[in-house]
Amino acid sequence: MLLRKRAWDIMREDFLVVEEEASMAEVITKLRESISKHADNDFAIVVKESGQLAGVITARDMLRAIEDCVLRDDVVRNAEETDWDRAFAKACTLCCHRRVKDIMERRPPTVRPNDPVLLVLNSLVDSKVRWAVVEEGGKPIGVVVINDLFNEISREMVSSF
């Protein structure tokens, strides 16, 4: 039965989408909400104005960008303990105005809706990420998350024990 399953059978159709012109502040707010619903929803699909896939932004990408903003600022690095909160707040304010298109992953792993589950597995293993965008006609229509794929494959395996 597993060999008959396709990406569309296990993809999530409810996923976070942001436009590439969105600010980090907007995405941080949306990611926090998304993660509160499902811990493994720590990414957002980034689309162009046309709806075409532009990339993906993850919580890790956001943290990397925040780290870069904060550590780049000498005031924060050299601040005394009493000044640190104010300096950190200033660095974060500056950082939150950056655009998603400047920090997103531009070539996320993608699969087609009709791709067999084993091809999706191969894509996830090769890319070393926990999700793949299901893309049709250049537009994202779903996401396969590694936990969902694991549950599907392991269910088949357990039933054959």
> What are the chain's domains?
2-159 (3.10.580.10)
pLDDT given at position 123: 92
Strand segments (E) across 3-159: 17-19, 43-47, 53-58, 110-111, 131-136, 139-145
Rounded to 5 degrees, φ, ψ at 53 are -65, 130
Tell me the C-alpha distance between 6 and 136, whole Å.
14
Q: What is the pLDDT of residues 17-45, one digit of tens each?
A: 999 999 999 999 999 999 999 888 899 99
Q: What is the pLDDT of residues 43-71, one digit of tens each?
A: 999 999 999 999 999 999 988 888 887 77
pLDDT of 130 above 60: yes
Strand order from edge to edge, sheet including 53-58:
17-19, 43-47, 53-58
Surface-to-core class of residue 134, CB atoms within 10 Å of its CB (0-12 exposed, 13-18 middle, 19+ buried): buried
- Nearest Cα to 7, choosing from 158, 139, 124, 137? 124
pTM (predicted TM-score): 0.84
pLDDT given at position 8: 95
**Helices 59-72 and 24-37, packing angle to 10 deg:** 140
